[in-house]
Chain A
Amino acid sequence: QKEVEQDPGPLSVPEGAIVSLNCTYSNSAFQYFMWYRQYSRKGPELLMYTYSSGNKEDGRFTAQVDKSSKYISLFIRDSQPSDSATYLCAPASGGSYIPTFGRGTSLIVHP
């Protein structure tokens, strides 16, 4: 089993839809939970960062972490075509802060 599991998709939704992207992980030492967004032909960029369990909201984006079930989610409200990208979850332990990346989920938002 990989340390971080993520469905590669693609996930195709109409503009305005609520999108739910998910990851599971196996390492109990993970304390920091990041979501990176990667546009085609670009390097990943940090989108959201959460420490431990709970929710964090930033505009149309909400990151949610449930450490008891080792489940990470990213919600996108009112999705836009510009949200079309690959989303990578990347948890890290408190000791090294080195992220372990999931395979990424490809999201397509069509007008």
Chain B
Amino acid sequence: EAQVTQNPRYLITVTGKKLTVTCSQNMNHEYMSWYRQDPGLGLRQIYYSMNVEVTDKGDVPEGYKVSRKEKRNFPLILESPSPNQTSLYFCASSSYAGNTEAFFGQGTRLTVV
């Protein structure tokens, strides 16, 4: 089954404690991205990756890091989380051979206290 898998689904952490949210896709997609979704603000892109070892900033990259060492994985790293990073996070992947459908993971609800 084609899918994008995020882990964990729920996470409560404390300010300053480094964390990683993993994202894996099994569709051999070139393009992957991370979004955060906040009430009233919709989906905002954090980082995206066009292919292995190619990453770029989205609209709200501050406080986040990503890496793309393998095609299937695109982890999101929060080196020093702060309460304003409390949000719902989505990973998405797509292939751009004329295919415009983005497949989303189930989401990670992060709370930073």
Q: Which residues of A are at the interface with B, using a C-beta cutoff of 8 A?
A: 6, 8, 32, 34, 36, 41-46, 49, 88, 90, 92, 96-99, 101-104
Contacts and interface: CB of A to CB of B under 8 A. Distances in A.
B60 interface: no
In this complex, the interface size class of chain B, counting residues with CB under 8 Å from chain A, is: 20 to 34
B106 interface: yes
Nearest to B4: A43
Contacts of B100: 32, 34, 49, 92, 97, 99
Given A42-B107, A43-B106, A44-B90, A103 B42 contact: yes
A52 B63 CA distance: 37
Nearest to A103: B42
B43 A101 contact: yes
Given A8-B40, A101-B42, A104-B42, A43 B94 contact: no
